[in-house]
Chain A
Amino acid sequence: MLIIIAALSLPFLVKKPINLPPIISVELIQIADLTNIPFAPKAKKIIEKVKKEQEKLLSEQAPPKKIKKEKPDAVPLPDQKSEKIKKIEEKKQNPEKIDDEIKQVSEFEKDEMFDPNTIAALIDKSKEEIAETTKKSNKITQSEDSNMNLSGLTLNEEDALKAQIFGCWSIPLGLPYNENLLVRIKLKLKPDGSVIKTEILDHARMNNPGQGFYKVLAESALRAIQLCQPLRVPTTGYERWKDLQLNFDAREMLEG
């Protein structure tokens, strides 16, 4: 009995090597909700006609939003926080004495921590609405999107975004180029590329002693984002890029 069992089970103990099929590379392609395959000439005309009608309807239904002009709010005057006023006397000598004649009487730079993350709240809402209808031309088409990596942007998309921000970023020239000049900003974006929220990742560094230049650098990066928005983002895959991190590094430019 044992011999029979052993004879039957032995072939299973000796495993044969598995023959794997050859590996075939597969290009992953994102498929958009709408196709952009060219239509037949006749169909194209009909679709364009329908589109024009829709646009007319849209413009009738949603006139541009009027922006209310803000009344100037009173801002606390330096008086209220001034500490002291030093008298300045005229010098009689000739040649004139070079002296510290002008005294700063009130330096009411805010003690509050600089909070750039509140900037998003200042974004003009009406601007966002207009942007959705007008900035489509800046978008990357589906065909350009075809070689998209699932975890990042394609080279074309990245280049387009970089080129846009290069044009908006005025680098402060006085920064010490031998310091760490990297500012990392996390963005939350809308599908049209406009910015919902900005967050400086090394925010604490801004208030460190001797790092005053970092604040100047971070502010310049935030200005660039504000100036550039809506950002030139892909038309598809919003879930992938709705959170985006921009690493602004001025060192290369300043070192020359």
Chain B
Amino acid sequence: MIHKKLFFLIFLITFPLKSLALIEVDITRGNLNPLPIAVSALASSNEDKKNLKKILDIKDLGLEISRVVENNLKKSGLFNPLNKEAFLQKPDIAHLKPRFEDWSLIKAQALITGKVNFEDDKLRVEFRLWDVLAGKEMLALAFTTVPKNWRRVGHIISDKVYERLTGEKGYFDTRIIYVAEEGPKTQRVKKLAIMDQDGFNIKYLTLGNELVLTPRFNPTNQMVTYLSYFKNLPRVYLLDIETGIQEVVGDFPGMTFAPRFSPDGKKIIMSFAMDGNSDIYTMDLENRIVERITNHPSIDTSPSYSPNGKYIAFNSDRSGYQQIYIMKNDGSNVKRISFGKGIYGTPVWSPRGDLIAFTKLHKGKFYIGVMRTNGKGERLLTENYYQEAPSWSPNGRVLIFYRETKTNSKGEGFSAKLWSIDLTGYNERLVKTETDASDPSWSSLLSN
């Protein structure tokens, strides 16, 4: 009897606690669908529109800036900009406090509004990012610049919105340097060209008299190192984009190629080949001291620093086939990291430091892929007849590379184009250029 009473008492004490325990549900999955976002045209007064039309010959600059933003966000694959025709609020009202119910009705989860002013010959653009479901402002910024820079304003807005909604820096206010190609395959004219990441504002940096290859930006985007020919010998060059002055890097008795800057921009790392052997060297740009990094009878080339500058990835055929290796920045602790089937080349360390992008040749097909820095987790993102030279976007999410097409039996139909692909492997896009293009290199963010 006593036992029963005791049991009942314990039950009474513990039962309410148990029944009132908070129910917890673990949500470990979500969707990776693009976020529906409404990009309202930036509002401007009729007078400002008139003035800006005189200068830029653009009827509605606010609308054009919003299109730049839309285009950037759409191409990222992470956003779904909604059709402007479905908008219920006009831009001139929307840039104040939006009616959130109107925007949630068209399924927008985020909204960009803003306005454009033209004051004292300066363009002033302000924008706001709204969380439609929470009904609150997430971000509000304003910029002032010369009217000519209106596209850059669009790119900076895109970067800010991207960062606020995804948690990582954007990559829209950036440039791409590449080799512009024209003419038949056997007589290609190759020029260095630079453009915005969306293909606008193309400028040519060389005239095409000499063959140019593998241009690479320095961390401040002011200098470019590339391969060109000097007295019929391939040599590494340095070009100052601001002044247009170019110089040969180092006084090597053989050919130098595959150059890249160190993350601090103080050194150039490259391959130097002589008597059939090629090794990796660095040259300090301040004191011009050259340092040999590898010393092996095999072909060591395509060096690329880790973002912290402590390691170098490169490819070498020291195991019999070309594979990817990493080593310390002084050349010690060389370790092979690629062990898959096929030949691996052009390793490029991600700006985030977690992945290495590469080109792989296997059974006659070229692949662009990524692997972790220990060689594990290899993922092939895209496959084609011929493609190579991946270069990372500054946030380490997207790769740009070039792809060549097959020629027919008459030798016709050859083309080389730039393509981009993100780490999911699904968002592959052609990057439009005026001419054929190869060897792209992505700059870091210009507005940093």
The verdict on A72 contacting chain B, using a C-beta distance below 8 Å, is yes
**Per-residue CB proximity of B75-117 to A under 8 Å, as 1/0?**
0001000000000000001001111010000000100000000
CB B141 to nearest CB in A, in angstroms, measures: 6
* Interface residues of B, dominant DSSP: mixed
Contact of B142 among A78, A110, A247 (CB under 8 A): A78
CB A60 to nearest CB in B, in angstroms, measures: 26
> How many interface residues does chain B have, given as a range?
35 or more
Complex CA gap A229/B83 in Å reads: 25
Question: Which residue of chain B has the shortest Cβ distance to A119 in the bound complex?
Answer: B134
Contact of B22 among A222, A224, A243 (CB under 8 A): A243
Q: A174-B168, A249-B27 are in contact. Are A109 and B221 (CB under 8 A)?
A: no
Whether B166 lies near A170 (C-beta < 8 A) is no
B-chain residues with CB within 8 Å of residue A53 when the two chains form the complex = none
**Per-residue CB proximity of A217-230 to B under 8 Å, as 1/0?**
10111111011000
Contact of A227 among B29, B133, B168 (CB under 8 A): B133
> How many interface residues does chain A have, given as a range?
35 or more
A-chain residues with CB within 8 Å of residue B397 when the two chains form the complex = 173-174
CB A228 to nearest CB in B, in angstroms, measures: 10
**Per-residue CB proximity of A222-256 to B under 8 Å, as 1/0?**
11101100000000000011011111111011000
The verdict on A64 contacting chain B, using a C-beta distance below 8 Å, is no
Complex CA gap A170/B107 in Å reads: 14
Question: Which residue of chain A has the shortest Cβ distance to B135 in the bound complex?
Answer: A122
Whether B97 lies near A166 (C-beta < 8 A) is no
Most buried by A among B29, B98, B244: B29
B-chain residues with CB within 8 Å of residue A174 when the two chains form the complex = 163, 166-168, 395, 397
Whether A101 lies near B30 (C-beta < 8 A) is no
Whether B23 lies near A240 (C-beta < 8 A) is yes
The verdict on A104 contacting chain B, using a C-beta distance below 8 Å, is yes
Whether A226 lies near B133 (C-beta < 8 A) is yes
The verdict on B140 contacting chain A, using a C-beta distance below 8 Å, is yes
Q: A174-B166, A216-B167, A227-B109 are in contact. Are A78 and B96 (CB under 8 A)?
A: no
Whether B166 lies near A244 (C-beta < 8 A) is no
27 contacts between A and B (CB under 8 A): A88-B145, A88-B146, A90-B146, A95-B203, A95-B242, A100-B446, A100-B447, A102-B153, A103-B145, A108-B140, A109-B141, A110-B137, A158-B25, A162-B27, A166-B29, A169-B30, A171-B30, A174-B167, A174-B395, A221-B27, A223-B109, A223-B133, A223-B134, A246-B24, A249-B27, A252-B29, A253-B28
Known: A153-B25, A246-B27. 4 other contacts (CB 8 A): A73-B96, A102-B143, A170-B30, A222-B133
Q: A residues bordering B, Cβ < 8 Å?
A: 18, 67, 69-70, 72-75, 77-79, 82, 85-86, 88, 90-91, 93-98, 100-110, 116, 119, 122, 124, 150-153, 158, 161-162, 165-176, 186, 212-213, 216-217, 219-224, 226-227, 240-241, 243-250, 252-253
